[in-house]
Amino acid sequence: MKKVHNFNAGPCVLPREAVATSIEALKDFAGTGISVIEVSHRSKEWDAIMAECEGLWRELLNIPDNYKVLFLGGGASLQFCMVPMNFLEKKAAFLETGVWAKKAIKEAKGFGEVEVVASSADKTFCYIPKDFKIPADADYFHITTNNTIYGTEIHHDMDSPVTLIADMSSDIMSRPVDVSKYGVIYGGAQKNVGPAGVTFVIVREDLLGKVSRYIPTMLDYKTHIDGGSMFNTPPVFSIYVMTQTLKWIKSLGGLEAMQKMNQEKAALLYKEIDRNPMFQGTAAAEDRSLMNVCFVMSEKYKDKEADFMAFAKERNMVGIKGHRSVGGFRASIYNACPKESVEALIACMQEFEKLHA
């Protein structure tokens, strides 16, 4: 198998152990003689996987008992409307830090008043706004904790006078989180904890049932709580791979260990970006993401962008092209991205520097 360094922003790099176990389950799931993609989701063997997956979420994040954990379809994009449908009665407040926050804001406007308390759009979302005031009369305050396109991240669990709701699609399970500070945490698995096809939702149960509107059955969180995430057929393979990924995280020491590893990888790469005269970072230093490292060629070497992209590709660097809306480069160094890949990218940058600087 060809050795590559996978920096794709999503679907993400996954632990080799999780991939290998999942391949075996495709052939024979739990000794049933049936593939995991053929097994009945009502079987005892599948019930065991659902219970294990939820148990791992609860253990790794220390989720309180009054929160429910759901595994749904539709990606985080569906949550952009499910959240306001279930929680927005009069007004919602938002922190606008990038494309995905803007999409969430757009959907919420269809259900009530929306107040954007602060935005970093004035500088192409290269920083996280500070010193904003959260309105006390809002039904909830929505944040996007990590911005994959622009490479910024909220590194702490903020205090909020109203229910705090967070899209954690791309940094969930990368650090410890105080779940009790949030009313809802949601995200698509494919950015850090599994393949595309399953969405995680962690919701404080007492917050439900407060809006006056009719909520369609499939868009009501209560439906999926009552159905144990199996009101309809769940995305079984995606959940299976996610379970194996969470087992891998646990085996390495949990979220404290993940945070340390992620901080070390990011520090190495940002140090090289700051040192190397050919490159420059695009995010404010204090808000740099540990998951998505965004950078561009420095002004003097702007004409070398295509050359570096080709140079890196020749050295098996995959997925470092920046998002089409911003250009430049982006190295997504999620949990399962090995330190060796980061070191290989750094060596590639240094080699390019010797040839052209």
User: Mind telling me the catalytic residues?
Assistant: 100, 167, 191
CA distance 254 to 231: 31
Q: What angle do CA 196, 201, 203 make, to 5 degrees?
A: 175
CA distance 182 to 187: 14
Q: How many residues does the chain have?
A: 357
Q: How far is CA 36 from CA 1, 126, 236, 264, in A?
A: 24, 42, 7, 36
CA distance 349 to 291: 19
- Give the single-character DSSP code of 213: S
CA nearest to 129, candidates 94, 99, 104: 94
Which residue has tokens 């159905």?
Answer: 227
CA distance 264 to 271: 11
Cβ-Cβ contacts under 8 Å for 25 (sequence gap 6 or more): 35, 36, 240
CA distance 173 to 246: 9
Strand spans (E) along 17-57? none
List the beta bridge partners of residue 72.
Answer: 199
